Amino acid sequence: MLHATNALWAALSWLVPGLGHLLRGERAKGLIYAAVLIGCFAAGQIMSEYRAVSRAEHDIAFWAQIGAGGPALLGAWYDATRHARETPPHPIAVPWLLDCGIMYTCVAGLLNFVLVVDLLFPRPGSARAAGRAGRAARTPSDGGAGRD
């Protein structure tokens, strides 16, 4: 079942990978996800000399990269400003790790999509769902007169 809180966590996790899990109280998961996804995205950008995220040059890959949210938006902004301020030499020099950089940023974006879906639709058998059901079962229905 989709809750407004889950949607907020998912939106924040899209913008900053791992933030939704941190806010949900899963500190270790959130920190690991943030480190892995932002690290993977940054490594891809560094390998490609900051040319991996470019809607003009890599249109199809861009739609996978945008899943990384904030880092991808920053990369797209940087690419747009780079194109505006430089005229490429002929022939255009291509970084030798450009393909690897594109792949790393795409993987980071697609993995973040998976994490957003995890926040939107938690598994019914997970500890989160069991904790909610357990709290609901222990809550007395007679206005709080019961004891645990």
What mean pLDDT, rounded, does the chain reach? 82
Residue 146 in domain: no
Domain range spanning residue 102? 4-138
pLDDT at residue 132 in the model: 52
Q: Could you report the per-residue pLDDT of 99-144, keeping only the tens digit for each?
A: 999 999 999 999 999 999 999 988 776 655 544 544 454 555 555 5
Q: Give the 3-state secondary structure percentages of the chain, helix then strand then coil, rounded to 5.
A: 70, 0, 30
Where do runs of H (alpha helix) occur along 48-126?
A: 59-65, 70-85, 98-120
| Counted domains in the chain | 1
- pLDDT digits 0-9 by tens, 41-66: 999 999 998 888 988 888 899 999 99
Give the range among 70-74, 83-87, 129-133 with minimum mean pLDDT: 129-133
Residue 18 domain flag: yes
Check residue 134 and give its pLDDT.
44
pLDDT band of 11, cuts 50, 70, 90: very high
145, part of any domain: no
pTM metric for this prediction: 0.75
pLDDT reported for residue 131:
45
Amino acid at 71: P
What pLDDT sits at residue 57? Answer: 85
Instruction: Please indicate, yes or no, if residue 27 is contained in any of the structural domains.
Output: yes
Please give the Cα distance from 32 to 22 (Å, whole number): 10
Do the domain assignments include residue 54?
yes
More confident residue, 89 or 74: 74
d(CA 33, CA 129): 21
Name the residue type at position 74: L
Tell whether 88 is covered by a domain.
Answer: yes
Q: Assess if residue 148 is contained within a domain.
A: no
